[in-house]
């Protein structure tokens, strides 16, 4: 497990540092939506949690149980995004603006220390002086696995924050975005496009959304919405059409509008002589949304969010 853990932690730490490093001071301290942390606060929270490594260096003792006995339980808990967790007070991030340079410097030092610890120390030893709530005393191996799962959990959160704050200009500048429909292959396709084009990919499963209660359980793992963003490029995709997906509706044009007046005007103009597939309405994600097929058979989606 030690050999597998090192490349996993290195990959997670590299993504954490590169994502935070790609944001300027204003972006990294922007609150993406109500009750959310900023990207900087996610980074600071992780940085504070990494301080446990100093205690692991000096407080350890042999144990008779397997060093990885509690790993799978930790993994099941921290990688289950349906479970909401409350951070202990001592690793809560500050409410003030955070310097990205200082944050990244701090994270670089601590993540390098963790990797060095993993390479050189005996991970089978337990840490009796440190109590993990609900788990008791963990081994060094289990602590490092916790660091991995905890980082991965917050990277998912950070990707969502990144996607929102780097595409906020869509609310102030009208854009037309390609929206791709798949019958169960959205995850595969969007991952392929990311491999080809690079950028940040965010995906939401149907089971993770308010739509879950309205859909058959077998639809749960399918992708409700995904977006791939890189600089000015945005591609979106979904499995929501299911078996209705066919040549002609597998690629839609999504009009990201900048005002109520605009979304209503564009919707009415392009619907003339065509067919309204879904009237403009308030969606569960808080935007005015609707769909039409214009008189030339082109499928359009319209979206306007005040937030």
- The pLDDT assigned to 170 comes to 45
Give me 54's structure tokens.
């100093």
111, 150 in Cβ contact below 8 A?
Answer: no
Give me 267's structure tokens.
């919707």
Dihedral sign, Cα of residue 111, residue 112, residue 114, residue 118 = positive
- The pLDDT assigned to 230 comes to 76
Q: Tell how strand 275-282 and strand 175-181 pair up.
A: unpaired
- The pLDDT assigned to 163 comes to 79
**Helix, strand, coil shares, percent, the chain, to 5:** 45, 20, 35
Q: How many CA atoms lie within 13 A of 243 on its CB side?
A: 1
> What is the per-residue pLDDT across 263-278, written as a single tens digit (0 to 9) for each?
999 899 889 999 999 9
Give me 53's structure tokens.
């490594």
Where do the H-state alpha helices sit in the chain? 2-21, 25-28, 39-49, 52-58, 71-78, 100-120, 140-166, 186-197, 260-271
The domains of the chain, with CATH numbers, are 2-166 (1.20.120.450), 169-304 (3.10.180.10)
Which three-class secondary structure state does DSSP give residue 274? coil
* Residue keyed to tokens 């990959």: 11
- The pLDDT assigned to 76 comes to 93
- The pLDDT assigned to 168 comes to 56
Q: Show Cβ contacts of residue 64 under 8 Å, excluding neighbours closer than 6 positions.
A: none
Residues of the chain with pLDDT under 50: 169-171
Q: Show Cβ contacts of residue 275 under 8 Å, excluding neighbours closer than 6 positions.
A: 292, 293
- The pLDDT assigned to 169 comes to 47
- The pLDDT assigned to 297 comes to 78
| Angle, in degrees to the nearest 10, between helices 140-166 and 2-21 | 30
228, 197 in Cβ contact below 8 A?
Answer: yes
């Amino acid at each position: 497990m030690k050999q597998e853990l090192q490349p996993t932690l290195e990959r997670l730490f590299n993504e954490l540092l590169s994502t935070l490093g790609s944001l300027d001071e204003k972006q990294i301290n922007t609150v993406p939506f109500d009750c959310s942390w900023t990207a900087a606060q996610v980074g600071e929270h992780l940085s504070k949690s990494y301080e446990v490594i100093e205690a692991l260096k000096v407080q350890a003792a042999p144990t008779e149980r397997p060093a990885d006995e509690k790993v799978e339980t930790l993994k099941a808990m921290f990688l289950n995004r349906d479970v909401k967790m409350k951070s202990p007070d001592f690793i809560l991030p500050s409410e003030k603006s955070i310097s990205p340079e200082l944050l990244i410097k701090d994270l670089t030092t601590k993540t390098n220390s963790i990797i060095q610890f993993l390479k050189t120390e005996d991970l089978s030893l337990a840490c009796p002086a440190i109590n993990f709530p609900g788990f008791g005393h963990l081994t060094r191996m289990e602590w490092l696995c916790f660091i991995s799962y905890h980082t991965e959990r917050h990277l998912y959160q950070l990707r969502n924050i990144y996607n929102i704050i780097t595409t906020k200009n869509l609310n102030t500048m009208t854009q037309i975005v390609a929206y791709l429909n798949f019958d169960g292959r959205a995850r595969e396709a969007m991952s392929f496009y990311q491999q080809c084009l690079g950028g940040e990919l965010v995906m939401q499963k149907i089971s993770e959304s308010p739509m879950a209660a309205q859909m058959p359980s077998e639809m749960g793992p399918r992708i409700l919405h995904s977006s791939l963003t890189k600089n000015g490029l945005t591609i979106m995709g979904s499995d929501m059409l299911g078996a209705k997906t066919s040549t002609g509706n597998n690629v839609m044009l999504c009009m990201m509008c900048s005002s109520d007046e605009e979304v209503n005007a564009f919707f009415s103009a392009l619907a003339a002589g065509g067919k309204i597939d879904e009237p403009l309405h308030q969606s569960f994600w808080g935007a005015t949304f609707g769909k039409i097929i214009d008189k030339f058979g082109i499928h359009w989606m319209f979206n306007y969010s005040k937030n």
